[in-house]
Amino acid sequence: MQLTGSEILIECLKEQGVDTVFGYPGGAILNVYDELYKHSDEITHILTSHEQGAAHGADGYARATGKVGVCFATSGPGATNLVTGIATAYMDSIPIVAITCNVGVSLLGKDSFQEIDIAGVTMPITKHNYIVKDVNDLADTIRKAFIIAKKGRPGPVLIDIPKDVTANKAEYQKETPKPLKALNQVSEAELATALKLIEECKKPYIFVGGGAILSDASKELVTFVRKVDAPVTDSLMGKGAFPGTDPLYTGMLGMHGTKTSNYGVSECDLLIVIGARFSDRVTGNAKKFASNAKILQFDIDPAEMDKNVLITAGVVGDIREVLGLLNERLSKQEHKEWIEKIMEYKGRFPLAYHPDVLTGPYVVEEIYRQTKGEALVVTEVGQHQMWAAQFYRYTKPRTFLTSGGLGTMGYGLGASLGAKKGRPDKIVVNIAGDGCFRMNMNEIATAVRHNIPIIQVVINNHVLGMVRQWQNLFYGQRYSATVLNDAVDFVKLAEAMGAVGIRAATQEEFREAFAKALTLGRPVVIDCQIDSDDKVWPMVAPGKAISEVFDEKDLEQGK
């Protein structure tokens, strides 16, 4: 059957089970949008306010569902506006396919109107990318892109299609996607070494990263934890892989991790690292990280072994498969005294905050109470992100969506729209600081336009909170370019874009505002006024070991 390139593109998306696309049209991609119009009953298009919102929307959809997210953009500035979103997905190993269109093949390389070499621009931030100059190659390229995005360590793929290719015709034959082939078998020698290390240790600690979520290994992880009999900590990306309500869970690790996790990892004799990449925000001073421990790492990507921290041994493979094999072979271990010591730490060093005023931690805990821990929480980047990681107890994977690797301010609102489209059954809350909200707050108009009932909570301290915290602690309180003390009214902005706006300055006002938001079924913006000098505790100073973690009391006592 002879079809145009645009028809082939839409048919291939339907082959892959794509039901939602996030995008913004323009001249070069008009043929694709004209074809998409004819299939609007099969593929929903979310017209975002900015292409960056489209990339984040595809990312949020992918994180929330486990499927590949898809975004569209036109040539030139449309394509370059996707770059931050593609880089965000790349750093966190999120499978998206970004489809851009370009000037015609004969105009490429001639500085034509709205021409950009987007394949060259995105080469360092994609798993792979393509420019399709022959319509006969288009269907196979799209199918390969989806395989690459999902296979092994996931990530973004970009396909750039010149406009004449979208109009030219080629033979199209429908194909059913084949199941992904299994990766190389897990090494028996690596498994044997791992078992030996686990069976010989006295003080194990388990550190869980985003790989456990990407491989859908939560069930196997819980079994593994019970068999090893070890406390569990996680990275920002690993939240929800192991239940945050479990007694063995000790909170996040690293710069804003709990004292319990930071002390425990510093004292353990075996650190078992599951799908985590030893980010500098986790390790602190890498030379002093887990210095008393042997390190056993499980990861699908062999490039992660010995990359940031030298390990004792590793097992390369899909996390779910590796844990499944270990669970079959590992006998039940017992570490009673070690667990008791860590639980004593947990009782001695709880997370705390000022109890009587409206604060970020209070807001997060109240969201947890009112949603009974069942919400899908999205964040921007900064203090509010850390509070959302610390004070909401995630019990299921794919319920905490955040930009961990790139730290993208402006990520959350677009991602929350994608998450809600992918998981309409979930209450979706995006938690932002006022600085982050300003970055992409135009996507509130998108939520209203498409009737996507997300709840946007703005932790408004009128400053760039995390940067100010560093300026306060390490830069002599010189608040250079971090004060946002202007006349912007987020409630009026929300109302101007067609959403509901509510302001809260006390705990009672926030309780009432959030309870109301849950009943409305509309996009809601809650502007929470908090103190400019509230800080995220505990903290590890840059360049220090995680064992040197300190909090507000330590600071007051001059420690």
Active site residues: 51, 113-114, 163, 466
| Phi, psi dihedral angles at 219 (to 5 degrees) | -65, -45
Per-residue tokens: 65: 């569902």
Integer angstrom CA distances of residue 540 from 40, 173, 363, 365: 51, 57, 24, 23
- Answer yes or no: are the C-beta atoms of 505 and 529 closer than 8 Å: yes
Per-residue tokens: 121: 């621009």
* C-alpha–C-alpha distance, residues 209 and 167, integer Å: 44
| Phi, psi dihedral angles at 324 (to 5 degrees) | -60, -45
Closest CA to 292 of 202, 196, 232, 230: 202
For 502, other C-beta atoms within 10 Å of its C-beta total 20
Integer angstrom CA distances of residue 242 from 197, 229, 255: 22, 14, 20
Specify the amino acid at residue 348.
R
In three-state secondary structure terms, 540 is coil
| Residue 137, Cβ density class (10 Å: 0-12 exposed, 13-18 middle, ≥19 buried) | middle
- Answer yes or no: are the C-beta atoms of 377 and 401 closer than 8 Å: yes
* Cβ within 8 Å of residue 229, ≥6 positions away: 204, 332, 333, 334, 335, 339
